[in-house]
Amino acid sequence: MYDQIKRDILSVLEQLVDILRVKEEKDVSDIKQLSNKVIHNASVFQDEDSVSVAVLVYSLSKLIERNRTSLDYKKLAAMVNSPVTFLKNNDEIKFRKAIQQIFDFIRAMDKKLKMYIYEVINQAQIKKGACFHEIADF
């Protein structure tokens, strides 16, 4: 994994952990803003890890939006912190396994995960197309 991608993923996941530390009314909007940032990164870098994190953040925003009262934020924060720890230790294999475990958790809570994957990819393609259009206008 390239250093820039690693730094961006770490930043996003650490921000997500911070949001999940305390349950607040603004969590959904904060996670959606974070999702927009990471979708942009996925459209720029177009690597598997950036796309996975984009889908993860977007899916969590949807999951929290629908199940805010019943979700265990401490459990979610610990789950998201796990890949952060592995990535900081340069263990990309364990990082990806930890991301997969979060996807398994999301899939168990919300059967719309496949739809979220398509939505993130579509948004990334739109952002990339918009960037190309801006460049072409110069």
DSSP sequence for 74-112? HHHHHHHHHHHHHHHTT-HHHHHHHHHHHHHHHHHH-TT
Q: At what angle do helices 3-21 and 48-67 cross, to 10 degrees?
A: 10
Residue 41 Ramachandran class (φ > 0 left, ψ -120 to 50 alpha, else beta): alpha
Rounded Cα–Cα distance for residues 19 and 62 (Å) = 15
pTM for this model (two decimals): 0.80
Task: State yes or no: pLDDT of 132 exceeds 50.
Answer: no
- Cα(first)–Cα(last) distance of the chain, in Å? 32
Q: What percent of the chain has pLDDT over 90?
A: 38
* 3-state SS, residue 46: coil
pLDDT tens, 32-90?
A: 889 888 877 777 777 889 888 988 898 888 888 887 777 888 999 999 999 999 999 99
Token pair 């199940």 is found at: 67
